[in-house]
Structure formats: structure tokens, C-alpha cells
Amino acid sequence: MNERYAARPVVVDCDPGHDDALALLLAAGDPRLRLLGVTTVAGNQTLDKTTRNALRILSLAGAADVPVAAGCDRPLVGELTVAEDIHGPSGLDGPDLDVPVAGAVDVHGVELMRRLIVGSAEPVTLIATGPLTNVALLLRGHPEVAPNVRRVVLMGGSTDRGNTTPYGEFNIVTDPEAADIVLRSGLPTTMIGLNVTHRALATTEIIAEFHGLGTRLGAVCADLMTFFAGTYHRVFGFEHPPVHDPIAVAAVIDPSIVRTVAVPVAVELTGTYTRGATVVDLHRRTGRDPNADVAVGLEVAAFWRLLMAAVRRLGGVPGPAARR
Ligand code: BDR
Ligand code: CA
């Protein structure tokens, strides 16, 4: 069978973002996935910037035929606070990126998701690597899509501490109401939180491996991770930056990459200091039914092998070193 049609259909909803960029490359480059479309949301940067960044990355990856649609430009409640301290003024600082060869399609991101899901012969996996605003609006506004959603796999939350507030992770803190809607939707949901993503570090060796691919795409990945390393060191004192978002994609490609437990998860909506925290009932003390498969373990080396293979497979023009 043609590999493209045997592959699992996915839609990626994202806010690129350095690690979202790697998530897009993994989704576009792994033969086990069929990337039906990409929708963007305000988060790491404003919507115009996250949309442009998604287009720039897909162009560079030779995947400009994948439709991209801009979704929500703010959270369901309250104002947007972007993560400029981590991702820079462009949302994707570091490499010099070309003007994208294609523009966004002229339809709202939530509507593109709806069309792709209802139009798919096979249930679609929704991979969300930004605030959950678009996904929440889709599930609330178009409940008819639910039977054709195979699973929602989201990067967000944590079983322990946060990165935006002491207990809140960025994607959930940015739009807690949206996360609450998704986690209470009844759809099969996988939560990939900081407790595992903080183990996937773009070390100096990983950056060298990106350079070693000898392509412009590999060099861009290296430059992205070098910038990310600088901001993570400045803001958090981390020696190497964690790449959160591609782990959500990897978990769809090969579920054995993450170990999960089925547990109840709630989003704190009212806490004085903890709004946006994911309250993960690991020890089953609430008596509630499980509503998410929460990642608690990660096969780090296998994850990086997947990601490198995808970037290698996407190929592209020779990189700066290879051209010399
Ligand atoms: C999440 O927040 C963003 O800055 C990253 O892109 C990732 O999705 C990590 O907390
Ligand atoms: Ca993200």
C-alpha cells in the first residue's frame, strides 16, 4: 500500500515556538504519520507570528502543501501573555528563515480542523502543542466531530511543578478554561507534561548531530536549539533546553516512547496562586474516574532517534558547512 495512505492521519495545533517547530518537522517527516493540516493559536507569540512561523518551517521542510490556518488570537478568558523571554520577539528567534513559499488558507483554524476531521475516512489524532483554545472551541462548537477524533495528545501541564507559575505550565496557564473543556470532553486524551519533557534535553551532542546532517534544515534546527539553550539558561538556569512539543508527536508515532498511567486530571481554575495547574490524581485519592493517560516515563534515546530520522528524511538543500 502507498505509505502515505497507510499512515495515521493527524492535525497539529501549535504556537511555534522553537519546540513546536521540531514537532512540525517530526509530524511532516515521519512516514507513519499523514499531516492533514496545521492550525495555529496565540501562545508563545501573537497569532500572526505563530502562523508565519508555522508556514516558514513547513516551507523549509518542503511541506508547503500542508494547509495552515490561523485560529484563535487570544485565550477564551482574559488577556494573552506571550513567552517572548523564551522564544524571542519573532517567536522563532535564532536562525535566518526565508519568507514562506505559501500563505495560510483563508479559513479559521477551528473550521479547518472541523473540515479535516469530518472529511477523513479514518479517525484523526489531534496533536496540540500550544494553548488549547482552538481545540476547546472545536469540541464545544462542533461536537459532531468527536466520533472521528481518535485521540487528543496534548503537551501541557505537569505531575509536579510548573514553568510559568510555581505549579502552572505555560500552555495550560495561558488558557485554563480551554484545557478544562478538553480534559472534560470525554475524548481519549494523552497528557504529555513537564515531568517527562524536562528529560528530553537538546544537549551539545544533539545540536552537533543536527549540524552533522549536513542540510540547511539540520543547521536551522541546530540554530533554533542554540537560541533556546540561551534563553532556558538565562530564565531557568538549565544547562540544556528541554524540547517539550515533539514528544507529543513521538507518542503518536510510537506509543512505547512514553509510559502513561490512566488517572483523573483536573485543571485549577480558581486557585489564588495555582490557576492553570493540572491537578493529577496519581494516587487515586479523589475517587474520580480517569480522564487522561498521563505520561510518567520517556524513552529519551528512542525519542531523539525518531526526531533525527525525520529531519534526515525531510532532507533539503545542503547546509552551510556542507556547502563549503
Ligand atoms: C510549552 O510552552 C511553550 O513555550 C512550548 O512551546 C511548549 O509548548 C512548554 O511549557
Ligand atoms: Ca508550544
Nearest residue (CA) to ligand 1, atom 4: 44
Please give the average per-residue pLDDT across 59-83, as a whole number. 97
Boundaries of every domain in the chain: 3-323
Q: How far is the CA of 200 from the centre of ligand 2 (A)?
A: 15
Q: Which of 12, 18, 19 to mutate to test the pocket of ligand 1 (most atoms within 8 A of CB)?
A: 19
Please give the average per-residue pLDDT across 258-273, as a whole number. 97
Residue 324: pLDDT band with limits 50, 70, 90: very low
Residue 18 is a catalytic residue = no
CA distances from 193 to 133, 245, 286 (A): 18, 10, 20
Tens-digit pLDDT profile for residues 222-253:
999 999 999 999 999 999 999 999 999 999 99
Considering the candidates 87, 211, 240, 244, report the single residue annotated as catalytic: 244
Q: Which of 170, 173, 195 to mutate to test the pocket of ligand 1 (most atoms within 8 A of CB)?
A: 170
pLDDT of 321 above 80: no
Please give the mean pLDDT across all residues of the chain: 96
Tens-digit pLDDT profile for residues 217-227:
999 999 999 99
3-state secondary structure of 221: helix
Please give the average per-residue pLDDT across 47-67, as a whole number. 98
Nearest residue (CA) to ligand 1, atom 10: 170
**What atom in ligand 1 is closest to the CA of residue 130?**
8
pLDDT > 70 fraction of the chain, expressed in percent and rounded: 97
Nearest residue (CA) to ligand 1, atom 2: 170
Residue 169 near ligand 1, beta carbon < 6 Å: yes
Tens-digit pLDDT profile for residues 123-168:
999 999 999 999 999 999 999 999 999 999 999 999 999 999 999 9
| Number of C-beta neighbours around residue 320 at 10 A | 11
pLDDT of 33 above 80: yes
**Whose atoms come closest to the Cα of 231: which ligand?**
1
Alpha helices in the chain (DSSP H): 3-6, 18-29, 47-60, 84-87, 109-118, 133-141, 170-174, 176-183, 194-197, 204-212, 216-236, 246-253, 300-314, 320-323
Domain 3-323, CATH number (from 3.90.245.10, 3.40.640.10, 3.10.20.740, 3.90.1150.10):
3.90.245.10
Residue 209 near ligand 1, beta carbon < 6 Å: no
Q: Tell me how far apart the alpha carbons of residues 148 and 187 are, in angstroms, rounded to a whole number.
A: 10
pLDDT of 98 above 50: yes
Please give the average per-residue pLDDT across 44-63, as a whole number. 98
pLDDT of 302 above 70: yes
Residue 318: pLDDT band with limits 50, 70, 90: confident
Q: How far is the CA of 287 from the centre of ligand 1 (A)?
A: 31
Residue 171 near ligand 1, beta carbon < 6 Å: yes
Closest CA to 63 of 73, 55, 53: 55
**Whose atoms come closest to the Cα of 18: which ligand?**
1
